[in-house]
Structure 1
Amino acid sequence: MLNGFRIVLVEDDEIMGSSLLQRLELEGASVQWFKQVRPALGALRTPRVPVDAVICDIRLPDGDGENLFNTLCQTVSPPPFLFITGHGGVEQAVRLMQAGAAEYVTKPFEMPVFLDRLSMLLNSQSDDQADPTIGISAAALRVDELALQAAASDRPVLIRGGPGTGKALVAKRIHDQSDRRAAPFVTVNIARDPNLDAALFAEQGAVRTVADGTLFLQALSRLPGEQQLKLLHVLDDGFDGRIVASCGHDMEQIMAGGGFLPDLFFRLDMLEIPVPPLADRTEDAVWLASRLFDQFNSRREMRMTGISRLAEQAIRAHDWPGGGREVRSRLARAIETASGDHLQPADLFPERIASEDRIMTLAEARAAAERRQIIEALERVDGQIGQAAKLLDVSRTTLWDKMQKLGLSGQSD
């Protein structure tokens, strides 16, 4: 009934918790059991793999389920919650459902009734929601939200972000969720295609073969001037398809230097989706590493157990200048060369071994600590710089200056 689903159980009662754990695992679910709010909160904020549902007692020794749910809602979109409550807590459970929780059951309950409620909740969620596109952080879920909004429209979309941030995944997500999903999704990588004119405009080129589907143009800023004019003419003549393009954050400078036609740029920039760098979404780096670990580990003759906590900490601390491509490359190499049961920091970052005796300077330590604190504040307020400045008790200008020095990005508010 529950095969393949990942469930978090938050229950302090040993008898109730053990009973639920055994039955859920018997039904095929993978279960993490927590007995207090605090460890459950940490696990749900940065899960190693996506969580399909949370089963949570409302009364817990260090708080209550309502506090857990509301705290999660401040920074992430939580998984559906199934609350367990006594008859005296029904009013509270109803209030939680009005706030976005999915379901509740009252004690005592029959196990078949409980399993039916849980199964209905999980199946309805799996029908309505796809896996996260680029991650599980608040910033990544915001990108996914913008992609779904774009899918409901028919205007051109411009996806902006650095290398390895998942722009192609966002483009495919838009197409797959749009009314054009039955038509072709055609990709032209402008930076890599040796014959762009043929790839775009020949008889079997993308402009003709896409029909009323989606044409995805990668590395838009690299499109030569001649092809820019041709594409503009195609749009003027009545293009049946939809264009989704991706680029970096330097298009304005390229246009100012005469390298790109403003008329074409503004035709393609009707809807814009900014994708933050992976360095600003450390929990997404851990999430991606976990997904890739399962993929690469399945190819090993002697399979590993998992990624160690120390390795996860090292993943969070790394800047990931190569984005998701760097995560993939490091994971593939680490799993191929690792000798232990768990991936360790040295497996992922072997270049650090030679300098492991070096002590970080006070300036470096201070910068690293400030970076972590700023990233955490930005994640809590969905990237809004003004609100983050209030949390950090500094002026907006001071925070902006520090973000520029540390290479961080946020949103004006």
Structure 2
Amino acid sequence: MAQSKPELLVIEDDKGLQKQLKWSLDEYHVVLAEGKDSALAELRRFQPKVVTLDLGLPPDPANASAGLELLSEILNLSPSSKVIVVTGNDEREVAMKAIELGAYDYYHKPILPDELKLIINRAFELANLEEESRIYRRNENMRFHGIVATSPKMLAACQKIEKVAPTDLNVMLEGDSGTGKEVLGRAVHSLSKRSEGSFVYLNCAAIPENLLETELFGYEASGFSEEGASSKGKIEEANDGTLYLDEVEMMTMSLQTKLMRALNDGRVERVGSREALPINLRLICSANGDLEQYVSEGKFREDLFYKLNEINIQIPPLAERDGDVVLIARTMLSKFNKQFGRNIRSFTKDAVQAMEAYSWPGNVRELENKIKSAVVMSEGTQITAEDLQLEEAQLREMPLNLRQVREAAETRAIQRAIVLADGNISQAAKLLGLTRPTLYSLMDKYSIHS
């Protein structure tokens, strides 16, 4: 399949020049416009990176007022477009005025196609470099220490982490299994003053109850066992760093009491020892269940709950992260292509629709498993809905209030368009049938980030 030519919008009312330019600039898809209305229509339609604009347009070709006015409108609609103004030999002041208004460059008539082509080529090179820079910055913003996100709810959680990380407050991460709590816990550590220290992870549900105490507090061989060496616990290992306790609700009441005392005293005793060692660490915790409910049922100490829950951060399930599913899936596709030596280019339209419609009860972990399996098993160059092996899509319940329905639908449509356009706002506006200014206005209204 031949690669499409980049669009070049040529605004020129002289039929002879139109024909000459279209013939001499055949490496571009030359889009012709004769006046203001047709120029703006083609600008909205193609969002060209480069525009040539003859300033001597009717109805006032003598002083270029119509051309300068059109230049301003073009730059308002498409600020990233590089506009090359074409003027008469005696119109240097007009050319300078165009540059002041934001034109990329100017060219004096008579037109020599090869000379003009050099300016056009440079304009495209600059436009492409700027686009690559925007994509890089956008991708950096979407990737927060291992978390790929563009949805307002997830970005709000990331922003909260950025604020709390430099403090030394203990953090409670609440969210369903598979939402990325450990990844965010590591982000808290890496952004903190303790980043040079250890990040120690312990899943309280993965250790048998009778061994969890020694895993957490360590043990002294002389008092605990006649054979073997003493061992540090996770608390000691995390000294001057961060200790992450996952599924903290699985700790027994006696172990909770011992942990609370260690945190209050700033000292820890190994099992089988009477010597208390000083500790200085930060705690990050998460629970699969409602920890407040455990407290109300007497299964979790209230004082320990408040000690661990100094800052609470809610992690939304994947189904509530509008626009993130396809974004994360693309990141995972690239990752697993490299891991398994595959070269799958993208997802088919039906695969994208299936991923957006599915409820993802297993959250990001389930999505990762589906993408990994599809990359390994797919026989084509694109992943299809069938490759993903998703169960029948589960539709989300929509609100009955018409205003809420409209706002929710507009938000999802905008976020989806931005993802499908790979962050190109001009392309997203085209997909939505909107002008760039209208799309930017809606993005501001719904607090949507590109």
What TM-score results when the alignment is normalised by the length of structure 1? 0.61
Contact 1:58 1:85 in 2 (8 A): no
Give the Å deviation of 1:300: 4.0
Which residue in 2 is equivalent to 1:108? Answer: 105
Distance in 1 of aligned mates of 2:390 and 2:131: 45
- 1:345 pairs with 385, 389, 392, which one? 385
Which residue in 2 is equivalent to 1:218? Answer: 246
Which residue in 1 is equivalent to 2:77? Answer: 64
Please list the CA deviations of residues 139-178 of structure 1 after superposition, one character each: whole Å capped at 9, or x if unmatched.
Answer: 2211111111111211111111111111111111111111
Correspondence 1:142 to 2:139: no
Contact 2:194 2:240 in 1 (8 A): yes
| Inter-CA distance 303–121: structure 2 relative to 1 (3 Å threshold) | closer
Please list the CA deviations of residues 323-381 of structure 1 after superposition, one character each: whole Å capped at 9, or x if unmatched.
Answer: 011101111222222222211111112555xxxxxxx9xxx979579798675467799
| Inter-CA distance 297–260: structure 2 relative to 1 (3 Å threshold) | same
Give the Å deviation of 1:223: 2.1
Contact 1:37 1:60 in 2 (8 A): no
Please identify, of 133-142 and 213-222, the stretch whose mean Cα deviation from structure 2 is larger: 133-142
SS in structure 2 of the partner of residue 272 of structure 1:
strand
Which residue in 1 is equivalent to 2:64? Answer: none
Correspondence 1:266 to 2:306: yes
Give the Å deviation of 1:250: 1.1
| Inter-CA distance 124–369: structure 2 relative to 1 (3 Å threshold) | closer
Give the Å deviation of 1:218: 1.0
| Inter-CA distance 118–39: structure 2 relative to 1 (3 Å threshold) | closer
- 2:351 pairs with 297, 300, 311, which one? 311
Distance in 1 of aligned mates of 2:346 and 2:356: 16
Contact 1:134 1:169 in 2 (8 A): no
Give the Å deviation of 1:301: 5.0
Correspondence 1:234 to 2:257: no
SS in structure 2 of the partner of residue 211 of structure 1:
coil
Distance in 2 of aligned mates of 1:153 and 1:293: 36
SS in structure 2 of the partner of residue 298 of structure 1:
helix
Please list the CA deviations of residues 202-258 of structure 1 after superposition, one character each: whole Å capped at 9, or x if unmatched.
Answer: 141111011111111111222221221111011101241111111246111111111
Name stretches of at least 5 consecutive residues in structure 1 with no aligned partner. 1-10, 22-34, 41-56, 67-81, 93-104, 353-359, 383-413
Contact 2:322 2:412 in 1 (8 A): no
Tell me which stretches of 4 or more aligned residues in structure 1 moved more than 4 Å: 35-40, 57-61, 82-92, 109-130, 364-382
Correspondence 1:200 to 2:212: no
Name stretches of at least 5 consecutive residues in structure 2 with no aligned partner. 1-5, 12-24, 29-41, 48-70, 85-95, 107-118, 219-230, 267-278, 416-450
| Aligned 1:7-406 pairs, distance under 5 A | 13-14=8-9, 64-65=77-78, 106-108=103-105, 111=122, 114=126, 118=130, 131-132=143-144, 133-194=147-208, 195-202=211-218, 203-238=231-266, 239-248=279-288, 250-300=290-340, 303-349=343-389, 351-352=391-392, 367=397, 376=409
Distance in 2 of aligned mates of 1:308 and 1:381: 20
Distance in 2 of aligned mates of 1:224 and 1:58: 70
Please list the CA deviations of residues 85-120 of structure 1 after superposition, one character each: whole Å capped at 9, or x if unmatched.
Answer: 78879999xxxxxxxxxxxx7412984995899499
What TM-score results when the alignment is normalised by the length of structure 2? 0.57
| Inter-CA distance 90–284: structure 2 relative to 1 (3 Å threshold) | farther
Distance in 2 of aligned mates of 1:188 and 1:223: 12
| Inter-CA distance 336–207: structure 2 relative to 1 (3 Å threshold) | same
SS in structure 2 of the partner of residue 293 of structure 1:
helix
Distance in 2 of aligned mates of 1:302 and 1:128: 25
1:220 is matched by which residue type in structure 2?
Answer: V
Identity %, equivalent residues: 24
1:165 is matched by which residue type in structure 2?
Answer: T
Distance in 2 of aligned mates of 1:367 and 1:338: 32
| Inter-CA distance 214–336: structure 2 relative to 1 (3 Å threshold) | same
SS in structure 1 of the partner of residue 364 of structure 2:
helix
Structure with larger Rg: 2
Distance in 2 of aligned mates of 1:127 and 1:288: 12
Please list the CA deviations of residues 5-47 of structure 1 after superposition, one character each: whole Å capped at 9, or x if unmatched.
Answer: xxxxxx964589x99x9xxxxxxxxxxxxx866999xxxxxxx
Distance in 2 of aligned mates of 1:333 and 1:190: 30
Contact 1:152 1:178 in 2 (8 A): yes
| Inter-CA distance 38–347: structure 2 relative to 1 (3 Å threshold) | farther
Distance in 2 of aligned mates of 1:198 and 1:325: 30
| Inter-CA distance 292–160: structure 2 relative to 1 (3 Å threshold) | same
Distance in 1 of aligned mates of 2:97 and 2:249: 62
